[in-house]
Structure 1
Amino acid sequence: MIKDFFILDFSYDVIDNIPVIFIWAIDTEGQRIVLLEKSFRPYFYVVVDEKEVEYIIEEIKKLSKSGSPITNIIPIKGKKLFGQPVTVLRIETLIPAYVRIYRDEVLKVKGVKQVLEADIRFYMRYSIDKYIKPFHWIKAEVEEVENINFRVNKVYEIKNIKEQYVGSIPKLRKLSFSIQVYSKQGSPNPRKDPIVVIAVKTDDSAKQFVASDSDDKQIIKEFVAFFQEYDPDIVYGFNTNSFDLQYLLERAHSKGLKLDIGRRVNGEPSQGVYGHYSMTGRLNVDLAGFVNSVSEVKIKTLENICDYLGIVKKEDRVNLEWYEIPKMWEDKDKKNKVIQYVADNARSVYLLGESFLPFAIELTRITGLPLDQLSMASVGYRVEWLLMRESNKYNELIPNKEERTGESYEGGLVISPIQGIHENVIVLDFSSMYPSIMIKYNVGPDTLVKGECNDCWVSPIGHKFRKEPPGLYKFVLENLVKERREIKSKLKETKDEYEKRLLDERQKALKVMANAFYGYMGWINARWYSREGAEAVTAWGRSIISDAAKIATEHGFKVIYGDTDSIFIKGNGDINKLQEIISQKFGIEIKMDKVYKRVLFTESKKRYAGITEDGRIDIVGFEAIRGDWCELAREVQRNVIEIILRTGKVDDAVRYVRKTILSLRRGEFKIEDLIIWKGLDKDVNEYAITAPHVVAAKKAIKAGYLVTKGSKIGYVIVKGTNKLSERAEPYFLVKDNSRIDISYYVDNQIIPSAMHVLKVFGVKEDSLKSGGTDILSFFKK
């Protein structure tokens, strides 16, 4: 029979010594389906000396093992590696795990130059070869078979996939969850500390499973039963890969239970690539992986992210500090507040997931990465999977990963700013400059020419790239740009609001992916790495920005600043004419990005703040968007900037700083506003220097808290006569405001953060500490 299926995910298993790929899907009736593919076999490629092909084939045959014999060795024609033709053999076997075993042995055969594509997961290899991706539909010839141990409506065996197409997304079942552990002291230990609340939120309900005592066996059983009954397609979490799921697994096992929440009976979550936990047949989406893109929020807690995005404001939910929870749980009058806190977490996670899902779906459709892996994969890996899929169409072999040391090269041009306040400043921005350069000059590792070349593009620093044929980067980028252009045209025409949103998410995803290619090319972990390519792109970019600034000056504008792909100008010239001239000269569109009503520049590059005509404030490069200052210092700097930008009055900003310092000296503050956050990039015992956050971490460990590499340490500086670092205390161990060293915060946090802005106007540092009202005293004489 011929049927249509919407693909959710892929997995595989070896059954009776045969590899079986599972395609988890939904059919046109909304039934949950698993499709079994039993005919596909694992393979890899071997690049060989063309003179030794017959000898190499015979030698490889000798390596065949009874557990998974080599079933076929096929010479393949037309394959390229970095654009160069190569002689290739395709080695086929039976069991996927044997690919790596054969890889190592085949490499030792005389005449073998490289083994390629032996590190691609079996089910992803299948999806690449069959040109199928998650969140697409396929039309397939199938035969229904017996459902054995699958939690789905029907099971089919695939006979033939006819086509893949993009259709509407069926109604998906989504579930979010959050857990709360009761730990009297220190960090939770799954061997002894019970889960006391598990909260879930679904598309149409919310539920909390609450332990009546310290035995969490019953609520884990209830959670698993609810999970199986609701049968979600997508499971939202926040840091669930790093905590919740691992804790649930260990607690379940300690109680003699299985966390049986997949779509295969007795299938527990298992940790896979990128550190994510895979739930067979479901998409476990840890949203913490997506929020890294929200750079404006430095401490990326669930509450902070949802508050910033306006999804769930802090005032509309219960907010608790983790160290408060044990005592509140022990207090019968406060226990319900803890339960509501966990329920609010589950609700926040669900709404956050719904906010990210449309964009994430489009990234999945573009890259082919399943949604659960996409949420944890870096931008580089997302680009790489797109290239891996497209290289197959281009007949280009996928290179191996290589270990490389970091190589620095000159970045984009930054034109030094004219210090001070400027009004009515226009920002002209080159649309996707780096992708445009890569397309125009056919930049890539496969087009790089290191010898003589008569028909090459030559970069300003001398790197050469052949003009024809197009390289892999150009091939893929042109497709992304073309599709985005077509979608933007559709956006102008469509009147359906739902369709508009989907199209907008698609064009944003295409833009994000295209803009990531330059960074990927210079990423040392990239399979298609090219330092020369990255260097050449930035060199062309510097040349373009420099020339664009000269053209702007020639047409009556004053250049205030320039950075990488944009210039800041002011003047009374014809801005439309200027855009037209620059765009035509370089073949890259430049357009007005924004107009600043007022913009502030310090003497430093990449540090400015501006207010747009609609009242929005942009802050770039100041401590206000960095994470190494306490919240009060960031707040002071933000407010100083805002006062100056909105009013143009420096004296008002100085008065505000003085008032803040006075309040601090009076003890009118919350300890939470003085916390300094710093991450541990290694274990505490590996630090040779006793930095404040390391001292605080050691104190937290001594108090019984689990602190490891990667932990975020929050500390405050307290009074004392010993060294500053020794006076760093974990914030949750400081209960009395009088212990805080106010002088440290005034001299090392508040004043420095304010002075980064105010020194531009000649304000004296000492004037911020005084309580006088003489405006002239603010300024240097």
Structure 2
Amino acid sequence: MIGWVLDCYADMAENRMVTWVRTGQGAVRVIGDVVPRIYVRASKDRLEKLIGDLALIGVRDVSLVRRRTGLGEREREVLSVAVRDYASIQPLAMTIDAWGDHHDHLLYNVDLRMDQRYFLEKGVFSMGMVELPSMTSRDSRLRIDYQVPPLSSVDLRVKTKGVGIPTFDDPIASVAVNDVVLDGPEGSVLEQLQALIREEDPDIIYTDKGDSFYLPYLQRRAAEQGVSLELGRDRGERTSRGKSFFTYGRIVYKPPGHKLRGRVHIDRESSFTFRESGLNGLIELSRLSMIPLQDLSRLSPGSAISAMQVNEAVRTGHVILWKKNRPEDFKTAGALIACDRGGFIYEPRVGVHDGVWEVDFFSLYPSIMVVHNISPETVMCPCCPRSSLTVPELGYHICEKGQGLVPRVLVPILDRRRVYKELRKQGGQRGEMYDQRTKALKWVLVTCFGYTGYRNARFGRIECHESITAFGRDILVRSAELAERRGFDVLHGIVDSLWLRGEGSIASYCEEVSRETEIPLNLEGRYSWIVFLPSISTGVGALNRYYGRFEDGTLKLRGIAVRRRDTPALVEDLQQDMLAHLSGAGDTPSFLELVPSSLEVMDRYVEEVRSGTVDRGRLVLRKSISRKLEEYVQFNDSVAALRQLHDRGFELQPGQSVEYLITDSTSGSSWQRVRAAPFLEGDERYDAEKYVDLVLRGAAELLSPFGRGIHELRARDRERGSKHRQERYV
């Protein structure tokens, strides 16, 4: 019998692995075994003593084996320790670490996932095809034309009887599974839900807020009613803690995960990868990373690339260091200045330009890692001190004797993305599938670069990060110089993209750059017009804030309010309408002619706000909080909303978002200044002049290069409204 690996988890009580395989006849439960092993590197005397000490506390077995303990290293003798039961891995490792005074014993393979250990030992992988009952692989992770399993799914929605923010104490109003709505007494609803899930037997259950509220809520209501609720195919759930963490300049909150056994629960709201790339993107990364689909939906693309690197390292005889703490190599002040420069940027020329070409390198930083063999063990390797391969500006030498771990992992990802992008052009039903796979791989490639400079990443090393950006700067400068030699005018350039104006052969230019750099330079398109916006604080060209119209009529928007997560729907609609008006222009002169009349769009929004007829939902602002309420010093709108929630017994964690309506921006009272979104009834008055100012700011963001900045628009509004100013609060 043939099937696909749907789910895999450790049964900690029985010390065995449970794998669910989706066959043509349904899901099959397969029991397997894996003996977890950890490895210890120490002096010969310490290893001999350790063998005796371990015999006293009881482990399955110990043996001396040869393994590679670091990238680029030869095999060395280490102690292999077979752990007696799954739950003992971490405690045993901590004991051995303490016996070595936390520095004499280096431990390996301690924090590998149990499903990862099992898959690596069995030679199978998540969403891969296997033969039953032997669990023999009949698939390859690197296949591009792989068959997707016939997965069934349902959509689970829950309504509570509470008012405002739902709580665990609110009775169930109704539960919906697809189009079937269950209501009535709570106990009956829960029993009907369980019966319906068993009857439908879906492989995937989709929810919104399932992790953060609805699944734990249903379990709480079931406990209150004395009902044993099991939504998985196996008994019990797998839960994880919620946590806040800092990433790419902002605090993010990850809610506790509520994973089912034998079924896949995907919370669309908390799954970044699903939101960005859909189910096909998740399946693609699940196969490549060997992380089960349900687990991967709660992890970042960075976790996927890290797992791929670990899998490749284990495949090549390495053991994986626990508690990595490699210090950065010493550098002089001059070396730090040369190294720590990031990507190259050509300051954009503020204003509108027509006939502009945009060209982008294909996955520039990952491609640099592959073309120039950048990996922790290859940069300044001990084996090639006289290597002819050096990093521009920095002088680091690069290994010539073998391909590094990072390039080996990236080559198939880059190849797959290139193929999928071509297949996507064919359109049709499979076009969407290829598009989702392409998007998933894009995020993996983006995070791969970031992980090279992250000190605590398993295979992170700052010199790799510095080398990649140095090559990137060199490539962009050389490409810009070549463009100028060909008669193009460089209007803007940032990291991996250039905006050029001129009538030369853009195709010939892209071919020459691709040939010179060994990295494909692709034409994104030609703009009828493009507007580069100024920085709000300095007035010089902002690095990544622009909007433009391609010759085919499509718009490209970056960095403006309509693209930001915290923009209220009112301002988003305003910018969309203004852009629709401006997109009627086919060149710079016609664009400039439309600028004055675009203010009429703004005027309509201002009048609507002052009339008091705006739907309150369109005025709600959404702000991400960076700390707990008690840690804020200044009083502002977000703090006022947090205080309201606190007064009603609700606490938000750093990284979560607070939503509110501004009712009186001048008030020092939390309850008068704003109204938190969960407490809105729909007829609240709002601070009309505050929202008028937000409208003016939204318009000024688009028109500031043309003498319509925020100060000019405020003056214009005062002049227009001085004759018939209405109430501030409506």
Alignment map for 1:68-83 (pairs within 5 Å): 69-83=58-72
Counterparts of 2:327 and 2:641 in 1: how far apart (Å)?
33
Aligned twin of 1:381: 303
Alignment map for 1:20-35 (pairs within 5 Å): 20-27=16-23, 29-35=24-30
Counterparts of 2:701 and 2:3 in 1: how far apart (Å)?
58
Once the two structures are superposed, residues 434-476 of structure 1 have per-residue CA deviations (whole angstroms, 9 ceiling, x without a partner) of 1111012211222232778211432433444323311110111
The 3 A distance-change label for structure 1 pair 577 and 223 is same
Answer whether contact 1:399 1:528 (CA < 8 A) is retained: no
What amino acid maps onto 2:151 in structure 1?
A: L
Alignment map for 1:557-706 (pairs within 5 Å): 557-603=488-534, 604-647=542-585, 648=591, 649-703=594-648
1:454 aligns with 2:386: yes
Aligned twin of 2:156: 177
Aligned twin of 1:344: none
Residue 402 of structure 1: how far off its partner (Å): 4.6
User: Structure 2-normalised TM-score?
Assistant: 0.85
What amino acid maps onto 2:386 in structure 1?
A: N
1:226 aligns with 2:196: yes
What amino acid maps onto 1:25 in structure 2?
A: V
Aligned twin of 1:63: 54
Alignment map for 1:390-401 (pairs within 5 Å): 390-401=312-323
Aligned twin of 1:104: 94
Residue 194 of structure 1: how far off its partner (Å): 0.8
Residue 223 of structure 1: how far off its partner (Å): 0.6
1:739 aligns with 2:652: no
Counterparts of 1:491 and 1:652 in 2: how far apart (Å)?
39
2:372 to 430, 435, 441: 441
The 3 A distance-change label for structure 1 pair 628 and 34 is closer
Counterparts of 2:171 and 2:79 in 1: how far apart (Å)?
55
Residue 44 of structure 1: how far off its partner (Å): 0.9
RMSD (Å), alpha carbons: 3.1
The 3 A distance-change label for structure 1 pair 719 and 285 is closer
Residue 651 of structure 1: how far off its partner (Å): 0.6
2:673 to 679, 702, 727: 727
Alignment map for 1:56-455 (pairs within 5 Å): 56-64=47-55, 69-85=58-74, 86-109=76-99, 112-139=104-131, 142=133, 158=134, 161=136, 164-165=139-140, 168-184=147-163, 186-190=164-168, 192-201=169-178, 206-211=179-184, 215-264=185-234, 267-272=235-240, 275-291=256-272, 356-402=278-324, 409-449=340-380, 453-455=385-387
Once the two structures are superposed, residues 104-144 of structure 1 have per-residue CA deviations (whole angstroms, 9 ceiling, x without a partner) of 2222445944101111232321112323111111235x4xx
Once the two structures are superposed, residues 653-674 of structure 1 have per-residue CA deviations (whole angstroms, 9 ceiling, x without a partner) of 2232233223322334222222
Aligned twin of 2:245: none
Counterparts of 2:370 and 2:347 in 1: how far apart (Å)?
29
Residue 485 of structure 1: how far off its partner (Å): 5.0
3-state SS, counterpart of residue 86 of structure 2: coil
Counterparts of 2:548 and 2:194 in 1: how far apart (Å)?
52
The 3 A distance-change label for structure 1 pair 514 and 703 is closer
Counterparts of 1:532 and 1:698 in 2: how far apart (Å)?
46
Counterparts of 1:479 and 1:599 in 2: how far apart (Å)?
36
Residue 544 of structure 1: how far off its partner (Å): 1.0
1:7 aligns with 2:1: no
User: Structure 1-normalised TM-score?
Assistant: 0.79
Answer whether contact 2:129 2:137 (CA < 8 A) is retained: no
The 3 A distance-change label for structure 1 pair 508 and 70 is same
Residue 687 of structure 1: how far off its partner (Å): 1.6
Once the two structures are superposed, residues 548-597 of structure 1 have per-residue CA deviations (whole angstroms, 9 ceiling, x without a partner) of 11110110111111111010011111112211221111111112112111
What amino acid maps onto 1:438 in structure 2?
A: M
The 3 A distance-change label for structure 1 pair 582 and 169 is closer
Residue 509 of structure 1: how far off its partner (Å): 4.0
Query: Which blocks of at least 5 consecutive residues in structure 1 are unaligned?
Result: 143-157, 296-354, 774-781
Answer whether contact 2:59 2:84 (CA < 8 A) is retained: yes
What amino acid maps onto 1:37 in structure 2?
A: G
Once the two structures are superposed, residues 6-59 of structure 1 have per-residue CA deviations (whole angstroms, 9 ceiling, x without a partner) of 2111122256xx6221111134x5242112213x2111111223x44xx51442
Answer whether contact 1:359 1:509 (CA < 8 A) is retained: yes
Aligned twin of 2:539: none
The 3 A distance-change label for structure 1 pair 735 and 237 is closer
Once the two structures are superposed, residues 325-371 of structure 1 have per-residue CA deviations (whole angstroms, 9 ceiling, x without a partner) of xxxxxxxxxxxxxxxxxxxxxxxxxxxxxx92222211211111111
Once the two structures are superposed, residues 70-125 of structure 1 have per-residue CA deviations (whole angstroms, 9 ceiling, x without a partner) of 22223332424132234322211220111212212222445944101111232321
Counterparts of 1:109 and 1:732 in 2: how far apart (Å)?
54
Counterparts of 2:308 and 2:136 in 1: how far apart (Å)?
21
Answer whether contact 2:47 2:79 (CA < 8 A) is retained: no
Residue 619 of structure 1: how far off its partner (Å): 1.2
The 3 A distance-change label for structure 1 pair 9 and 553 is same
Answer whether contact 2:615 2:682 (CA < 8 A) is retained: no
Residue 728 of structure 1: how far off its partner (Å): 2.7
Aligned twin of 1:303: none
Answer whether contact 2:624 2:658 (CA < 8 A) is retained: yes
Answer whether contact 1:77 1:88 (CA < 8 A) is retained: yes
Aligned twin of 1:313: none
Counterparts of 1:412 and 1:671 in 2: how far apart (Å)?
43
Once the two structures are superposed, residues 225-245 of structure 1 have per-residue CA deviations (whole angstroms, 9 ceiling, x without a partner) of 211222222111122111111
Aligned twin of 1:334: none
Residue 217 of structure 1: how far off its partner (Å): 1.2
The 3 A distance-change label for structure 1 pair 666 and 169 is closer
Answer whether contact 1:447 1:471 (CA < 8 A) is retained: yes
Counterparts of 2:680 and 2:66 in 1: how far apart (Å)?
70
Counterparts of 1:724 and 1:536 in 2: how far apart (Å)?
53
1:765 aligns with 2:696: no
